[in-house]
Amino acid sequence: GLCRPIAEGGVGFDYRLAMGLPDFWIKTLKHQRDEDWDLGELWHQLVNRRQGEKTVAYAESHDQALVGDKTLAQWLYGDAIYHHMQVQDGDPGAARATALHKLIRLLTLSAGGEAYLNFMGNEFGHPEWIDFPRAGNDWSYHYARRQWSLADNPDLRFSQLLAFDTAMLALARERQLLTKGPATLLNIDAGNKVIAFERAGLVFVFSFSPTESFFDYGIPAPAVGRYRLVLTSDRPEFGGFARLDEAVLYDTLGGGGTAEVPRLRLYVPSRTALVLARQ
């Protein structure tokens, strides 16, 4: 009855689930070095759905979080999720995991579908799987839980991951991101691991480069004008490094009656997402 029309006594749920997305993310983390990520395949997985069919995008669900697999955070952090989650801890592995956890969620939200699903703690990087009482665990309730208190502790990275989740969802609601049609690819730079696209009038730029930051980096702009940052994953409150000045305004170059496509010139730090809006 869940998917039957309301007129027929059902709930009227008419979305498909993008089940391939979380599988793709886990497969990528398990089998590829950061330097080898295939952004072309990533984009294909994000937008590979039939036009007109609404889709729920998500980075992880029960297939990953239940015992037998690992949560997205567990794959990213490894043992650091138990030893290096203090916000003052400069462990490079934990910093990498924090950055990628944010990028994966924002990219899935902004390009993966017409709805977005958080699953039982992945919004703050829950460190454990879920295991319900059963004969195989001697009917234990130990892992039949979510430790919501972790996200309430400002001394832990979990709070920073949740703060980013709150900000990205607020932006999606404010801009009605998921109702404005599919994302339009602006550029894929496979060598430098940078991808840019437009949706709902916003320009999204993701750098998956593990080591390189790019100055004066050019990307096509959807329209001539002046742009400003409305969200970046590099804010300190999100566990970032404050490498971007959000007061800077960016004017497009070219366009305006010329044959040249308008472009934005940006500073794009490593492992960072930028979201820009036209003023």
Q: What is the pLDDT of residue 51?
A: 85
Largest CA distance in the chain: 72
Enumerate the CATH 2.60.40.1180 domain ranges in the chain, comma separated: 184-278
What is the pTM assigned to this prediction? 0.94
Going by pLDDT thresholds of 50, 70 and 90, the confidence category of residue 256 is: low
Q: What is the pLDDT of residue 61?
A: 86
Average pLDDT over residues 142-171: 96
Say whether pLDDT at 87 is over 70.
yes
Q: What's 8-179's CATH class?
A: alpha beta
Kindly give the pairing relationship between strand 194-199 and strand 202-207: antiparallel
Distance CA 21, CA 82 (A): 27
Average pLDDT, the chain: 94
What are the φ and ψ backbone dihedral angles of 255, each rounded to 5 degrees?
A: 70, -155
Average pLDDT over residues 153-171: 98
Say whether pLDDT at 257 is over 70.
no
Report the SS3 class of residue 233. Answer: coil
Q: What's 184-278's CATH class?
A: mainly beta
Report the DSSP beta bridge partners of residue 202.
199, 277
Q: What is the pLDDT of residue 94?
A: 98
Say whether pLDDT at 258 is over 80.
no
Choose between 87 and 68: higher pLDDT: 87
Tokens of 251: 């004017």
Which among 177, 121, 175 has a CA at the least distance from the CA of 144?
A: 121
Q: What is the pLDDT of residue 62?
A: 82
Choose between 127 and 56: higher pLDDT: 56
Say whether pLDDT at 255 is over 80.
no
Q: What is the DSSP letter of 89?
A: -
What are the φ and ψ backbone dihedral angles of 105, each rounded to 5 degrees?
A: -70, -45
Enumerate the CATH 3.20.20.80 domain ranges in the chain, comma separated: 8-179
Going by pLDDT thresholds of 50, 70 and 90, the confidence category of residue 23 is: very high
Report the DSSP beta bridge partners of residue 56.
17, 115
- Helix and strand tally (H, E) in the chain? 7, 11
Say whether pLDDT at 279 is over 70.
yes
Average pLDDT over residues 98-109: 98
Distance CA 127, CA 80 (A): 10
Mean pLDDT highest for which of 25-29, 103-107, 137-141?
Answer: 103-107
pLDDT in tens, 46-67: 999 888 889 999 999 888 777 6
Contact (Cβ atoms closer than 8 angstroms) between residue 192 and residue 206: no
Among 76-90, 123-137, 148-162, 204-218, name the one with the lowest average pLDDT.
Answer: 123-137
pLDDT in tens, 182-200: 999 999 999 999 999 999 9
Distance CA 69, CA 65 (A): 6
